Structure 1
Amino acid sequence: DLALRVAVQPGGCSGLRYRLFFDERSLDGDVEKDFGGVKVVTDRMSAPYLGGATIDFVDTIEKQGFTIDNPNATGSCACGDSFS
């Protein structure tokens, strides 16, 4: 019963950063969506920052891990770990 939890938290050099982790908890106000059998959960405070965002998993020589394309982000840092 694990879900991929996507959260936005203060931090990073641009002001906000993403946190992605597997979670078995269900929090009051969670927004849940199912994508091909994968349950993705977002807390109600993070949801407005993530509207319209797409998440993908990249596995290349240069990079391995989740990537987030977020139309709400107005800027990001050079390292790509945070956004504004």
Structure 2
Amino acid sequence: MEPWQRQRLQTVTLRRQIKVMIQDILGEPSYIEAPINPSSNVRKICYLCASYARRMTKHRCLRCKQAICGPHNVHMCCRCIQ
């Protein structure tokens, strides 16, 4: 069973939640991915703010790469911390 789980971890299109579950079962730590390259670091609207606020930001969550503004920025979004 373990070789199959390790093979599944190598699948690029596997959802993040499934990868985290497999890593928990195998006892492996979850690795934080590298930040996005500055060339692709375009301003986007914060996904946590209300739609009327429209806060633009270049900051991203280190795990899921969603745009997060200054007040919400803790280098990881609240969904990834949980």
TM-score of the pair, normalised by structure 1: 0.22
- Structure with the higher fraction of residues in strand conformation: 1
Determine which structure has more spread, i.e. the larger CA radius of gyration. 2
RCO higher in structure (CA 8 A, sep ≥6): 1
Greater per-residue helix proportion: 2
